[in-house]
Amino acid sequence: MTRGEYEAVAAVPDPEIPTVTIEDLGILRDVEVEGSRVVVTITPTYSGCPAMDTIRTDIRRALPGRDVEVRTVLSPAWTTDWITDAGREKLAKARIAPPWRSDQRLSAPPGTLMLSISVRCPNCGSPDTTELSRFGSTACKSLWRCRACGDPFDHFKAI
């Protein structure tokens, strides 16, 4: 892989959340140059993600004049832990509350059901929020409202 191909593909914006790239979301797994062909490996945020066709097209557009193969890998399954720190910051700036990473969650004995009581508002930081709908603007987000500042916001569902 040359750095140029990787950087071009890494800069492809997510079509559902264009403020973050496929690299920010952890969708981009690998970029390899095999002779004259560029092989890009991606993992969808979930197997039925409707944005994958657009992402594949955008990857090919990012490498004009190149023979590009886009491979989709489902195992291991994507997890919100793959969202980069930069991606989490960009989500928050776009008023989408990023999920906690698994290493940030409280540890509990095996078999304990972990509950998320609230999500911090990306606007004012208040934990005084309520989920309005499990389904937000896209299937991977839910809709929340902050009781402190009144703003509605999306929360990227933890997977």
- What pLDDT, in 10s, does the model give residues 18-47? 999 999 999 999 999 988 899 999 999 887
Give the tokens for residue 7: 């950087």
- Please tell me the predicted confidence (pLDDT) of residue 108: 58
Residue 94 pLDDT > 80, yes or no?
yes
- Please tell me the predicted confidence (pLDDT) of residue 37: 94
- What pLDDT, in 10s, does the model give residues 52-90? 999 999 999 999 999 999 999 988 888 889 999 999 999
Residue 87, φ and ψ in degrees, nearest 5? -65, -40
Cβ atoms of residues 85 and 143 within 8 Å? no
List C-alpha distances in Å: 1 to 9, 35, 38, 100: 12, 10, 8, 32
Q: Is the pTM of this model over 0.75?
A: no
Question: Domain 3-72 classified CATH 3.30.300.130?
Answer: yes
Q: Where are the domains of the chain?
A: 3-72, 85-156
